[in-house]
A and B are shown apart, each in its own frame.
Chain A
Amino acid sequence: MNPLRRELEIVADWIEPGSRVLDLGCGDGTLLQYLVQRKGVTAYGLEIDPRKVTRCMDRGVNVVRADLDEGLADFHRDSFDHVIMSQTIQAVRYPDKLLEDLLRVGRHGIVTFPNIGYWRLRMQLLLRGRMPRSPALPNAWYNSPNIHLCTLRDFERLCSSMGIEILERRTLDRAHRSNPLLNLSPNLLAEVAIYRFVRGSQSR
């Protein structure tokens, strides 16, 4: 089974039919194609890798080759109902600035990322004294695209400092399944975190 499958299903469940969607780091366009075909959304994907951009074109989804580190200046405020960042936030240079931009152009944000607080990863650092690696984080420290890893607690703290209101959090285990036991200590037990959030009432 494709390990991303469950994660994208959860994301897709949060998208209302007919809404406007922007997918930041849309990869090969799998999620966007699903949303367009099943939910009739109006969608664009942004992706930096030309091979993946080409895959998106092959799928017939709207895709723009773009570097997210340059921000979202091409889009107006409130252009989208949902802005998705699936396994992308950890690879950008300024995650906080991008989150801010994300909530400028979209009403809702959806973010998924690998939890660096997952116990197996903590154990690698503690026992072996080396940067953790896993199927979700397969690269070595020096060539990894994932330059801004965080734990659930880190992400939530950033959101609260930015006045972002988290509406829902879902976690997945090593087999990328939902598991009620995860709620005992999600920051330790979850391998993948999925958040849905809006601009807080305090923020602009």
Chain B
Amino acid sequence: MVRSPPIDSVGLVTQHKAVFEEPLALDCGRELPRYELVYETYGELNRDASNAILVCHALSGNHHAAGYHSEHDRKPGWWETCIGPGKPLDTNRFFVVCSNNLGGCHGSTGPASINPHTNKPYGDQFPVVTVRDWVRSQASLADQLGIKQWAAVAGGSLGGMQALQWAIDHPERLRHAIVIAAAPRLSAQNIGFNEVARQAIMGDPEFHGGRYYDYGVSPRRGLAVARMLGHITYLSDDAMRAKFGRDLRGSMSFDFDEVDFEVESYLRYQGQRFVQDFDANTYLLMTKALDYFDPAAEHSDDFSAAIEPIQCSTLLLSFSSDWRFAPSRSREILRALLQKEKPVSYMEIEATQGHDAFLMPIPRYLEAFSAYMGNVAREVEI
């Protein structure tokens, strides 16, 4: 179906590719000899490059954060709610950049890319990357775009953790960190969910030790199960009850292959849709990066010592029904920032949607985010 995008959308967008020929040293001790990052931009960079905002994506996200790739696109980018004219990340004022993380599967160098040493896909040979590695690669992208300092680095969930890592690693290179529905590190429960997801993928007979590209297959069943599990944790109990209850699709089948309940149908659909454009090795990498994220680890588990270098102002937002990264986790970040007398604002937003709330058009959330960004715009005089 052909239709024109709504007026508060950035409209049709195209992706760009940045190529880096110098090697990137990684936390795991290995290095990538060369790498590429695919990214999109929305809005115009001003003359002194003071209006740039970096948006970091979460686990299954990519560089397509807003707008449409074609008139036939069914859905806009993943953060259409927050990016566009008049929206919190107002593209009339800001220049928004979003890149596909290293290890991703939407164009940036990742497990499906060709390893220059072997001329075959990296597969299981792709190094495990960390949040800090991503920040390093994004800093190189900023250099290439001529952006010395971001007006803000923003993200939700794993994206919020990247924003936090940015503030710690490059204090002078951002004025604000927007950290939404995130945590200072994962809980054992969080890591547990990630491990179950990984085992589902690695246990699939078509995984072939991560070298499934060589066999022309992919561990679709395992990846779909991983996504189904993830999906349950992103929603709240209330949201699932409201959406599906215990509604049956027809009558009970007394069979395991058939779909009985609406919620089963929904999860199977989500899983199937996901495997169409997501790479299993990338899923393994992204969950591992989440597990390893822990700025306090190098400071004897003292998170407030880890955030000591931060110079920017921080906005923390959390959602009441989020149990994957509950408001109490955001408060841990808040407490450390307060203890070190860093500029910080925090708001817990009442929302029924669970962890996914950061992607939803919740009026109070958008109002607060907009108010904060309006002040950022005044601060950089745009």
Contact = CB atoms under 8 A, between A and B. Distances in A.
A79 B340 CA distance: 10
Contacts of B315: 57
A60 B341 contact: no
Contacts of A65: 346-348
B298 interface: no
Given A20-B341, A63-B345, A65-B348, A74 B335 contact: yes
A75 interface: yes
A56 B338 CA distance: 17
Given A44-B338, A74-B335, A76-B339, A62 B367 contact: no
B199 to A, nearest CB: 38
Given A50-B349, A50-B364, A74-B331, A60 B338 contact: no
Interface in A24-60: 42, 44, 50, 53-60
B331 to A, nearest CB: 7
Contacts of B378: 60
A interface majority secondary structure: mixed
The size class of the interface chain B forms with chain A is 20 to 34
Given A64-B344, A75-B338, A54 B368 contact: yes
A42 B341 contact: yes
B371 interface: yes
A57 B372 contact: yes
Interface string B333-356: 011001101011111111000000
B379 A50 contact: no
Nearest to B378: A60
Nearest to B342: A62
B127 interface: no
Contacts of B5: none
A62 B371 contact: no
Contact of B334 (A50, A54, A74): A74
B375 interface: yes
A68 B178 CA distance: 25
A107 to B, nearest CB: 15
B375 A59 contact: yes
B338 A57 contact: no
Contacts of B343: 62
Contacts of A55: 371
A13 to B, nearest CB: 24
Contacts of A79: 338-339, 341
B121 interface: no
B374 interface: yes
Contacts of A44: 338, 344
Interface string B350-382: 100000000000001001100110110011000
Contacts of A54: 347, 364, 367-368, 371
A50 B368 contact: yes
A37 to B, nearest CB: 13
Question: Which of B339, B349, B371 has most A Cβ within 10 Å?
Answer: B371
A117 B339 CA distance: 40
Contacts of B368: 50, 53-54, 57
List the 9 closest pairs (A to B, CB-CB), nearest first.
A58-B371, A60-B375, A57-B371, A65-B347, A57-B372, A64-B346, A54-B368, A54-B371, A63-B345
Given A57-B372, A63-B347, 16 more contacts: A42-B341, A53-B345, A53-B347, A54-B367, A54-B368, A54-B371, A55-B371, A57-B345, A58-B371, A59-B375, A60-B378, A62-B313, A62-B345, A64-B344, A64-B347, A79-B339
